[in-house]
A and B are shown apart, each in its own frame.
Chain A
């Protein structure tokens, strides 16, 4: 039900660099699970609202007042790489401007 090509597409969306073996194995396992899930189509839901949450919450706000929060140092404490108070990552922009 989900072929290897689709698994690769989903893996890309999910930012997972799967091995060829994983793609094969997951295609088979996910197909089995999706097959099982298909039984939901038996249920008549034509007049039902989706239930995304047990509580009927709307706009849970607090006062827009400054409160203590993490210091920059605490926030950076687990960073794999940091520099000068920033999280350091590989270059995002390739340096060539718009044509």
Chain B
């Protein structure tokens, strides 16, 4: 039997159903591996071992009694630490929220509990999701399981590393500009951002409300489809939630793709892409050609503005969303003796890290009188142009294919002093968030240093089923998703 840590959630579910393994054995294996190896990877900020084992035992007992168990029964799951878990510290990896215990569960957490998943731990992230490397966490930096000197990507670096290291087969991260796809690419796992509004944002601590989506991380496409099926669906507590149930992506998954048309946007293959990344993506295009896909060159002319639009629109929303952290209702309050206004200013100064302060200030600036039209409104108009580029593309292709990131994982510290260079690592992922369309990153090979290369596929809004089928077709024809780092 394959080691537990290399098995997918689907395999672990089957192993339980055929009584080859118990939930307790699975969870124990997960916790043991975390204890043994997370000291080096540092994916987790908190782990709930006792409760997890107790819940696992209880699932085994229910099964033994012949009772029905949920769709994710006994499966260890990790959650990015910006997802509210009732009574369990949720910090966004910021000093501002150290010791914050939410009084409620996020909707996805309720769904996971309802599916009998075992919540094993909360994962590390860039503070308030501001970052692309997990180096902005106020606590520590997570390491890439493929090379511990390198970053796992971000901001959901902890979740991606946790799956890549085999600590858990499933995790949730969140995306605003690629924060699950990019780390999934760097860590050689699958990360999928749903159509905006498919997964409820209730209980996700907000960064950019028109961009945020809780997003699955998994070892393979099948597992990602399984997790999204559980997570998605209308939620009346999230007024931006799409009024439709989640699809049954598993049922559709192995339906033949036929002669689907893949678009290669010339703007996504320009300079700045590492040669090995370009090679792996072009190899992948050949795989698709052999599978019968039609490859077409397209143009998404406004893609070059993605980072600029994002660092106006997203930071504007962030400055508004982070205004609630004022030391009054929750979170850090300064111990200095101050008047009311200074209480806000000093508490926020003490509680937020550098990147949070930069983004709050940039957001405040672009929304302020005299600059609002020139920056904020302008960016939103270019955003619409970017969306229109995709709308035009869908007239001739069924999906767009590109590298997830221009490079593979960089070394810890390499971009820490250059915020702009850090932002540019998200140039290929940001467009999907701006347009609200779904996107997936899947492993498509390795570079000369043995680092994973991620390939991104995007489809129109609501076409998750098509997205999974295309990704699955590639995955079935390759073996990159079966490789595991040596830890």
Contacts and interface: CB of A to CB of B under 8 A. Distances in A.
Interface of A: 2, 6-7, 10-19, 22, 26, 29-30, 32-34, 36-37, 39-41, 43, 45, 48-55, 57, 60, 62, 70, 74-75, 77-81, 87, 89-92
A90 B345 CA distance: 13
B101 A78 contact: yes
B383 interface: yes
A29 B419 contact: yes
A32 to B, nearest CB: 6
B368 A13 contact: yes
Given A13-B368, A37-B375, A40-B309, A50 B343 contact: no
A18 B357 contact: yes
19 contacts: A15-B323, A15-B326, A17-B346, A29-B419, A30-B362, A33-B419, A33-B423, A34-B362, A36-B307, A37-B379, A50-B380, A54-B197, A78-B330, A78-B331, A80-B327, A80-B332, A80-B333, A90-B338, A90-B343
A40 B382 contact: yes
Interface stretch (B44-52, B234-242, B261-269): B234-242
A94 B208 CA distance: 36
Contact of B378 (A40, A77, A87): A40
A16 B385 contact: no
A39 B308 contact: yes
Contacts of A53: 210, 240
B487 interface: no
Contacts of B332: 80
Contact of A18 (B99, B349, B362, B377): B349
B340 interface: yes
Contact of B103 (A54, A60, A77, A90): A77
Contact of A77 (B101, B197, B348, B385): B101
Give me the 9 closest cross-chain CB pairs, A-B, nearest first. Answer: A54-B436, A50-B380, A45-B381, A80-B333, A51-B384, A78-B330, A17-B345, A60-B239, A74-B103
B420 A43 contact: no
A29 B103 contact: no
A33 to B, nearest CB: 6
Given A17-B346, A36-B420, A70-B104, 9 more contacts: A14-B360, A17-B342, A40-B305, A48-B381, A54-B196, A75-B329, A78-B329, A78-B331, A91-B339
Nearest to B310: A37
In this complex, which of B309, B362, B375, B461 has the most chain A Cβ atoms within 10 angstroms of its Cβ? B362
B302 to A, nearest CB: 7
A7 B100 CA distance: 30
Contacts, number: 159
A92 B197 contact: no
B207 interface: no
Nearest to A78: B330
Contacts of B385: 43, 45, 48
Nearest to B337: A90
B361 interface: yes
A34 B312 CA distance: 9
A26 B362 CA distance: 10
B362 A16 contact: no
Contacts of A81: 333
B329 A91 contact: no
Contacts of A36: 307-308, 311, 420
B305 to A, nearest CB: 6
Contact of A45 (B329, B378, B387): B378
B386 to A, nearest CB: 8
Contact of B302 (A18, A43, A75): A43
